[in-house]
């Protein structure tokens, strides 16, 4: 099984900040990695797929980078709607998720 | 727009069975692979099962292999998850999710709202 480790587990930030979340895979997943946003009581929603491709309708302040075993989700100019929990997911071999990063208001 | 609506959740005793169903609309169901994923506060998000667009291939997580079975009916636009030999640690919110692909397990492009399964005596 491919394990995904996200860091940090919690991130405190202010509106307008630029924040980054890291996802490390236990083995190479090439660029088969997606990022999701989840708000309390709601299902996750995809933001980024294939490591760096923006899903249709997702604001351009979200960006993804990386390949192999290390990936980053960056949110530029954090907006009030962005305070949520973020998950990475690999789909190189079946699927697995990272443990999540909660972005909270400082 | 894409809609996925799960049903069938509830309370079941350990060792019991439950069948979840997911009704899809707003897209051509028969050309997309589908998944079931669950979520708990402790273990987070866990992928469970995949079925190819035509039902020709299924994959399962080790944690549910042999106990859970995924199936689909392209004439009714539904995907089901039959869950047997349920345990307390199967307690979770269960989501169905539409894949971005027809053939292989890729990313989850759309999700249902989830249905809660509680395994308890």
pLDDT in tens, B4-46: 999 999 999 999 999 999 999 999 999 999 999 999 988 899 9
Provide the shortest C-alpha distance from residue B89 to chain A (in Å). 17
Which of the residues A91, A93, A98, A100 would you substitute to probe the B interface, choosing the one with the greatest number of B C-beta atoms within 10 Å?
Answer: A91
* B58-91: burial string, b at 16+ Cβ within 10 Å, e else: ebbbebbeeebbbebeeeebbbbbbbeebeeebb
Q: For the residues A68-83, what does the mean pLDDT come to?
A: 97
* pLDDT band, residue B103 (cuts 50/70/90): confident
* pLDDT band, residue B105 (cuts 50/70/90): confident
Residue A25: per-residue pLDDT: 98
What does each C-alpha distance from A47 to A13, A58, A61 come to in angstroms?
20, 6, 11
Cβ neighbours of B108 in A, within 8 Å: 34, 36, 44, 46, 89, 95
The backbone torsions φ and ψ at residue B6, rounded to the nearest 5 degrees and listed phi first, read: -85, 150
Percent of chain B with pLDDT over 90: 93
d(CA A83, CA A80): 6
Residue B104: per-residue pLDDT: 86
Which of the residues B37, B46, B108, B110 would you substitute to probe the A interface, choosing the one with the greatest number of A C-beta atoms within 10 Å?
Answer: B108
Q: Does A56 touch chain B (CB under 8 A)?
A: no
Residues in chain A: 106
Nearest to A89 by CA among B6, B2, B90, B46: B46
Q: Does B62 touch chain A (CB under 8 A)?
A: yes
Q: Does B5 touch chain A (CB under 8 A)?
A: no
pLDDT in tens, B70-80: 999 999 999 99
pLDDT in tens, A4-27: 999 999 999 999 999 999 999 999
Q: For the residues B52-76, what does the mean pLDDT come to?
A: 97
For A43, the closest of B35, B105, B112 (CB atoms) is B112
Q: Are strands B10-12 and B115-119 parallel, antiparallel or unpaired?
A: parallel
Inter-chain residue contact B106 with A49, CB threshold 8 Å: yes
**What is the DSSP secondary structure assignment for residue A82, as one 8-state letter?**
G
pLDDT in tens, A19-56: 999 999 999 999 999 999 999 999 999 999 999 999 99
Nearest to A106 by CA among A11, A36, A29: A11
């Amino acid at each position: 099984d491919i394990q995904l480790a996200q860091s940090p587990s919690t991130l405190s930030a202010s509106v307008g900040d630029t924040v980054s979340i890291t996802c490390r895979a236990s083995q190479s997943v090439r660029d088969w990695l997606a990022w999701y946003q989840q708000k309390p009581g709601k299902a996750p929603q995809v933001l980024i797929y294939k490591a760096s491709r923006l899903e249709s309708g997702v604001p351009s302040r979200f960006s993804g980078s990386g390949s192999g075993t290390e990936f980053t989700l960056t949110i530029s100019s954090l907006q009030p709607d962005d305070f949520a929990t973020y998950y990475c997911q690999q789909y190189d071999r079946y699927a697995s998720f990272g443990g999540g990063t909660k972005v909270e208001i400082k | 727009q894409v809609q996925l609506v799960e049903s069938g959740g509830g309370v079941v005793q350990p060792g019991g069975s439950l069948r979840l169903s997911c009704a899809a609309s707003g897209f051509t169901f028969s050309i997309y692979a589908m998944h079931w994923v669950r979520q708990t506060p402790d273990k987070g998000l866990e992928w469970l099962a995949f079925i190819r667009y035509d039902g020709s291939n299924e994959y399962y997580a080790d944690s549910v292999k042999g106990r859970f079975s995924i199936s689909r009916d392209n004439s009714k636009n539904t995907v089901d998850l039959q869950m047997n030999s349920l345990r307390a640690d199967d307690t979770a919110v269960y989501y169905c999710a539409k894949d971005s692909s027809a053939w292989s397990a890729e990313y989850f492009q759309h999700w249902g709202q989830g249905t809660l399964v509680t395994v308890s005596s």
